């Protein structure tokens, strides 16, 4: 089972990477979302796929019994939310790019390069 | 006590940032001089201890395991520097307040604050015994020197000079850091006293050459020795008070300080002293040559400073007890007369606005007191009796005669000192007394502030020489003992009889007078040698800068063509290469899991569906199809979490996927949905190979990880303590809000910040007439059911929040579910309805949530001294036993922050679509 999950996570990682390398920025955003999902699945597997028992201390007990590893779960939970925020902000950026530049291709978005070199050469001085 | 002095200096400098403006606006900026005067008086209290030959050491352990201690040590040599720094600093502050009278009070205040900060950095450098602390303050002096040289921020030449100074001195500082680290590795200690005491051991170590090279480069860059001398004449762009303080009396002497402290090591290494003397002689000759060629008043003084620093380096390099005596004596004498001359130059520039020497003349009529001070200082510089300069020159010659190096250094010293005599005359006699009629009027007359500094320092040069006992006992003798190691018998008097030193001095004065008389023709003849300008160090520096920039342009042009895909391709390829290299060098092979576990058909099929979704997303032509496929993989991930014991994760992932579908659809509806492929077939196959390679690496890594023994230490720790200490049954939630609460606080901050970003990118610009989003015809079924769904989801979110500590739920899940409630209203009735339902700005909500989360940690800080240590309260409310803690506050804060953020996203994106 863990081999299958590793295979699926790696496969999704590859799909996400392939999409991130596209020149269409919306595909990049979707690819990043896929990457986030794949990495979350991979991180989750650090706890080893063994049991379906959630890490809840049962009523009456004082310690956690046999259950899934809680530590990777805690890490992945915030990762999911932050990955979501990242996806949405990138979508907002693509919307802005479309509105201001009228293109969705990354090689046609050149407004920063067209501003020129920020470090102008210094003048000659005699003293 | 020393630590208190240093801390007072730092605090007073910080306070002067605020106080300075207040004082300068009332023309009382000179009151800030009370800070250095106070420090000077405080230092005088150590007079007795230092005179008796003791050193004062104070130790503050910082990171003892790393060898970093804040150790401060006050011995005779450091005492000399401290008195100079504070004394001259006080006079500089008074002078600067009068000099900068034409500037705005804010600028004056900034200058004075920088001077005080610089003073603190200098004090720290000379008082530090730990080499790392010394390095810290050393770099601080470079930084403040940069800020002072570039004080005229609008002038390109000032900025260029400041950058040049920073490049050179900070580069030397890096070499010094390398040397310090090597010393720490070799000796096992970073203490300067250890270096001095264990000098033979250090000299025998295999790293001694890099260590000495680093120390030399650090000292030579700071003290403007050849070939790093070119920054000092350029630093004359600074306002003159800064030049008088930094570039003559204090900062440039730091290199000498360092070399003097390392002298036992330098002496023990063959060739160490020779290097110092050789570099010093070249510096002296180059500086003397350029001093004759220079046109500006301050540039002449700058080159003469370089030459004097060369003399000091040579004195450190010479062996014998008189060399140490001469070093200390010349340090003091030079500081006194050079600062005075800079003050006088400043007064002239301030009064006339002229900088070139040949335009000045007959100024004694307008600036009489300045002329007197200048004469006194020049006589000291020329080495004429009865001034301190004469005494120090005598020591210099005696040291040279007594040392093992004879003829060549002495000849160079005679020549250079003669040039210094000529310079003294040129700088004083020409502007003030000769050339009457060149200057017809001055803009500013002399004021007390401008005169106090030069007169005091010039008179000191005379008084100390005539009555040397106090200074000799308290300052000079202990300083010499500190650097030589043993007390030296010195007769500090004016007349010792007709000695060889006196004859040499006479020769120097004679040649110098000749130089002065024939100054103009020599000056013009040397200036015509413009061919030499092409080979000077400054041109080398400029060429180096150009070469670095050109190389950077070539590399950037090669690697960064402006196509994002190329950047990413480089990054991914490099990452893959590093991983493969790491795998190969790790040595051991890939571990495969031995027990495969039972294959469950349902979850297996689900996982494969997820993979199919990912593949569909890559091949989809339409963006909507790609988005749906991505959402499918997210749902599969959520189900996987659910089926493998992570219900919290499953809930979060379900909520996130739903929100992603809503929000991305809103975004995509504003974009063209048909997305043609943007890569050529070859590019696509290349990308496929790269992606496949990296995914194979990930697969191998995951297999290896699952085959490795699982470390359950953390899980057992949390599992054992979650209920007993943190009163929570949901271990995941307890980890998030209690054990690792600070991490979660950071992540909540990130989420709240993303709300600000999204709002500023999208923020609905509210139309004044109420907006077009108000009247929206909605689907009947949805309109009927939406209030029900809204209240259900809102209630569910509150339940999830409240039960999160003991059951499945929590702040993150609750916030996302609440956001879903608002999403339904926005989808059904439009953004405006949703906003009115919220009744406040989403950013306010997010900010309030973050504030709540931050505040929830404060009770723990107050009660236990640990921030974010949660406190639990047990109450009996109407017979019901209630136990709650600040974890609920923290979770509520997270809830509100997540809700506010997602609503900011939601309102922004749906508004974009509606407009």
First to last CA, chain B: 69
- Smallest CA–CA distance, residue B725 to chain A, in Å, is 10
HSE-up (13 A, CA, CB side) for residue B268: 18
Chain A residue with minimum CA distance to B733 = A74
Q: What is the pLDDT of residue B444?
A: 81
Which of helix, strand or coil describes residue B32? helix
* Interface contact A88-B233, CB threshold 8 A: no
* Interface contact B563-A106, CB threshold 8 A: yes
Residues 6+ apart with CB under 8 A from A76: A40, A43, A44, B646, B649
DSSP B783: H
Q: What is the pLDDT of residue B209?
A: 92
Place of tokens 């250090």: B202
* Interface contact A23-B694, CB threshold 8 A: no
**Three-state secondary structure readout of B713-739:** HHHHHHHHHHHHCCCCCEHHHHHHHHH
Ramachandran bin of B275, using left for φ above 0, alpha for ψ from -120 to 50, beta for the remaining angles: alpha
What pTM, to 2 d.p., does this model score?
A: 0.71
Find the angle CA(B374)-CA(B380)-CA(B384) to the nearest 5 degrees: 125
Q: How far is CA A8 from CA A39, A78, B596, in A?
A: 11, 22, 16
Dist CA B733 CA A73 (whole Å): 10
Residues 6+ apart with CB under 8 A from B474: B47, B50, B51, B79
- Partners of A12 on chain B (C-beta within 8 Å) are 610-611, 614, 633
User: Is A127's pLDDT higher than 50?
Assistant: no
Q: How far is CA A15 from CA A34, A59, B453, B573, B679, in A?
A: 7, 43, 74, 16, 16
Chain B residue with minimum CA distance to A61 = B723
Q: Which domains does chain A have, with CATH numbers?
A: 2-50+71-107 (1.10.287.3510)
- Smallest CA–CA distance, residue B431 to chain A, in Å, is 19
Q: With bands split at pLDDT 50, 70 and 90, how would you rate the model's confidence at A18?
A: very high
* Interface contact A127-B299, CB threshold 8 A: yes
Q: What is the pLDDT of residue A102?
A: 87
Q: What is the pLDDT of residue B884?
A: 85
* Interface contact A3-B653, CB threshold 8 A: no
Structure tokens at A74: 């805690």
Count Cβ–Cβ pairs < 8 Å, chain A vs chain B: 317
Work out the average pLDDT over A79-104.
92
- Phi, psi of B443, deg, nearest 5: -85, -40
DSSP B498: S
Q: What is the pLDDT of residue B562?
A: 73
ipTM strictly over 0.90?
yes
Output b/e per residue, B684-711; b: 16+ Cβ within 10 A: beebeebbebbbebbbbbbbbbbeeeee
- Smallest CA–CA distance, residue A69 to chain B, in Å, is 6
β partners of residue B73: B57
Q: What is the pLDDT of residue A121?
A: 55
Find the angle CA(B43)-CA(B99)-CA(B341) to the nearest 5 degrees: 70
- Partners of A23 on chain B (C-beta within 8 Å) are 563-565, 678-679
- Partners of B754 on chain A (C-beta within 8 Å) are 85-86, 88-89
- Partners of B646 on chain A (C-beta within 8 Å) are 44, 54, 68, 73, 76
Chain A residue with minimum CA distance to B235 = A127
Q: With bands split at pLDDT 50, 70 and 90, how would you rate the model's confidence at A54?
A: very high
Ramachandran bin of B707, using left for φ above 0, alpha for ψ from -120 to 50, beta for the remaining angles: alpha
- Partners of B594 on chain A (C-beta within 8 Å) are none
Of B564, B690, B714, the CB nearest to A71: B714
* Interface contact B648-A7, CB threshold 8 A: no
Ramachandran bin of B491, using left for φ above 0, alpha for ψ from -120 to 50, beta for the remaining angles: beta
* Interface contact B714-A13, CB threshold 8 A: no
Dist CA B631 CA A30 (whole Å): 9
Which of helix, strand or coil describes residue B767? coil
* Interface contact B735-A53, CB threshold 8 A: no
Average confidence score pLDDT of chain A = 87
- Residue by residue, DSSP assigns B351-412 as HH---BGGG---GGGT-HHHHHHHHHHHHHHHT-TTSHHHHHHHHHHHHHHHSS--HHHHHH
* Interface contact B667-A63, CB threshold 8 A: no
Below-50 pLDDT ranges, chain B: 768-775
Residues in chain B: 915
Structure tokens at B96: 């600067």
Chain B residue with minimum CA distance to A100 = B761
For testing contact with chain B, the best of A5, A17, A38 (most B CBs within 10 A): A17
* Interface contact B623-A56, CB threshold 8 A: no
Cα dihedral sign, B504-B509-B514-B520: positive
Asked if residues B139 and B168 have their Cβ atoms less than 8 Å apart, the reply is no
């Amino acid at each position: 089972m863990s081999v299958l999950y590793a295979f699926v996570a790696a496969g999704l990682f590859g799909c996400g990477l392939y999409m991130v390398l596209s020149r269409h920025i919306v595909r990049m955003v979707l690819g990043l979302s896929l990457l986030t999902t794949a990495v979350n699945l991979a991180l989750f597997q650090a706890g080893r796929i063994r049991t379906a028992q959630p890490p809840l201390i049962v009523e009456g007990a004082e310690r956690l019994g046999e259950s899934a590893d809680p530590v990777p779960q805690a890490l992945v939970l915030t990762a999911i939310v932050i990955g979501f925020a990242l996806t949405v902000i990138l979508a907002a950026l693509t919307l802005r790019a479309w509105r201001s530049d009228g293109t969705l291709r990354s090689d046609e978005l050149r407004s920063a390069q067209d501003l020129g070199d920020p470090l102008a050469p210094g003048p000659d001085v005699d003293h | 006590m020393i630590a208190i002095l240093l801390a007072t200096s730092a605090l007073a400098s910080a306070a002067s940032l605020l106080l300075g403006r207040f004082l300068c606006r009332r023309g009382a900026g000179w009151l800030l001089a009370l800070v250095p005067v106070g420090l000077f008086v405080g230092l005088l209290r150590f007079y007795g201890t230092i005179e008796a030959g003791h050193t004062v050491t104070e130790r503050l352990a910082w990171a003892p395991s790393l060898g970093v201690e804040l150790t401060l040590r006050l011995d005779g040599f450091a005492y000399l520097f401290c008195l100079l720094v504070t004394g001259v600093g006080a006079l500089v502050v008074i002078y600067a307040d009068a000099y900068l009278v034409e500037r705005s009070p804010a600028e004056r205040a900034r200058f004075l604050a920088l001077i005080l900060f610089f003073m603190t950095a200098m004090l720290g450098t000379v008082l530090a015994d730990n080499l790392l602390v010394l390095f810290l303050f050393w770099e601080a002096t470079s930084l403040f020197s940069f800020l002072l040289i570039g004080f005229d921020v609008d002038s390109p030449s000032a900025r260029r000079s400041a950058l040049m100074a920073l490049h050179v001195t900070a580069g030397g500082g890096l070499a010094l850091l390398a040397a310090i680290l090597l010393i720490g590795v070799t000796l096992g200690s970073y203490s300067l006293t250890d270096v001095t005491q264990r000098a033979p051991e250090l000299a025998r170590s295999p790293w001694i050459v890099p260590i000495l090279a680093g120390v030399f480069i650090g000292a030579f860059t700071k003290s403007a020795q050849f070939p790093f001398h070119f920054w000092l004449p350029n630093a004359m762009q600074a306002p003159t008070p800064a030049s008088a303080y930094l570039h003559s009396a204090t900062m440039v002497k730091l290199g000498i300080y360092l070399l003097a402290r390392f002298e036992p090591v330098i002496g023990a290494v063959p060739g160490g002293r020779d290097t110092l003397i050789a570099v010093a002689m070249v510096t002296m000759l180059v500086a003397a040559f350029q001093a004759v060629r220079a046109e500006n008043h301050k540039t002449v003084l700058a080159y003469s400073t370089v030459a004097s620093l060369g003399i000091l380096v040579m004195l450190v390099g010479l062996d014998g007890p008189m060399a140490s005596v001469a070093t200390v004596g010349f340090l003091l004498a030079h500081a006194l007369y050079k600062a005075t001359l800079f003050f006088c130059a400043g007064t002239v520039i301030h009064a006339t606005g002229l900088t070139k020497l040949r335009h000045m003349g007959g100024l004694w009529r307008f600036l009489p007191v300045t002329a007197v001070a200048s004469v006194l200082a020049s006589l000291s510089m020329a080495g004429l009796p009865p001034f301190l300069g004469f005494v120090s020159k005598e020591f210099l010659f005696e040291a040279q005669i007594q040392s093992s190096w004879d003829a060549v250094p002495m000849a160079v010293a005679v020549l250079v000192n003669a040039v210094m005599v000529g310079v003294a005359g040129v700088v004083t006699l020409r502007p003030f007394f000769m050339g009457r009629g060149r200057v017809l009027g001055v803009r500013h007359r002399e004021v007390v502030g401008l005169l106090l500094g030069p007169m005091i320092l010039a008179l000191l040069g005379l008084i100390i020489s005539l009555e040397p006992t106090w200074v000799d006992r308290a300052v000079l003798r202990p300083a010499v003992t500190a650097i030589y190691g043993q007390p030296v018998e010195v007769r500090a008097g004016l007349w010792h009889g007709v000695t060889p030193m006196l004859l040499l001095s006479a020769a120097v004065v004679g040649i110098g007078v000749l130089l002065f008389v024939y100054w103009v023709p020599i000056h013009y003849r040397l200036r015509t040698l413009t061919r030499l300008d092409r080979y000077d160090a400054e041109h080398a520096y400029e060429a180096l800068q150009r070469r670095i920039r050109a190389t950077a342009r070539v590399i950037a042009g090669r690697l960064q063509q402006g196509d994002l895909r190329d950047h990413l391709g480089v990054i991914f390829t490099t990452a893959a290469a590093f991983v493969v290299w790491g795998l190969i060098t790790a040595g051991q092979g890939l571990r495969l899991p031995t027990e495969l576990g039972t294959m469950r058909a349902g979850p297996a099929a689900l996982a494969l569906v997820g993979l199919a979704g990912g593949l569909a997303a890559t091949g989809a032509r339409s963006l909507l199809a790609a988005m749906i496929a991505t959402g499918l993989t997210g749902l599969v991930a959520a189900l996987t979490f659910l089926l493998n014991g992570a219900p919290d994760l499953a809930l979060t992932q379900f909520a996130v996927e739903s929100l992603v579908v809503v929000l991305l659809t809103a975004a995509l509806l504003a974009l063209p949905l048909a997305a043609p492929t943007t890569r050529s077939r070859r590019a696509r196959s290349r990308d496929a190979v790269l992606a496949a390679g990296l995914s194979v690496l990930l697969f191998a890594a995951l297999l290896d990880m699952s085959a490795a023994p699982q470390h359950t230490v953390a899980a057992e720790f949390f599992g054992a303590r979650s209920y007993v200490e943190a009163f929570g049954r949901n271990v995941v939630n307890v980890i998030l809000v209690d054990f690792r609460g600070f991490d979660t606080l950071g992540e909540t901050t990130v989420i709240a910040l993303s709300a600000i970003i999204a709002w500023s990118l999208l923020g609905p610009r509210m139309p004044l007439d109420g907006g077009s989003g108000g009247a929206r015809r909605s689907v009947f079924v949805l309109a009927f059911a939406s209030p029900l769904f809204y209240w259900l989801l809102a209630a569910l979110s509150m339940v999830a929040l409240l039960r999160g500590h003991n059951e499945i739920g929590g702040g993150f899940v609750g916030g996302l579910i609440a956001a879903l409630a608002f999403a339904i209203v926005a989808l059904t009735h439009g953004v405006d309805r949703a906003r009115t339902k919220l009744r406040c700005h989403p950013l306010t909500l997010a900010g309030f949530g973050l504030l709540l989360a931050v505040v929830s940690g404060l009770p723990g800080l107050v009660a236990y001294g640990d921030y974010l240590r949660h406190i639990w309260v047990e109450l009996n409310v109407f017979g019901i036993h209630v136990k709650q803690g600040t974890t609920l506050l923290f979770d509520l804060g997270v809830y509100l922050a997540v809700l506010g953020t997602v609503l900011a996203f939601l309102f922004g994106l749906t508004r974009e679509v509606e407009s």
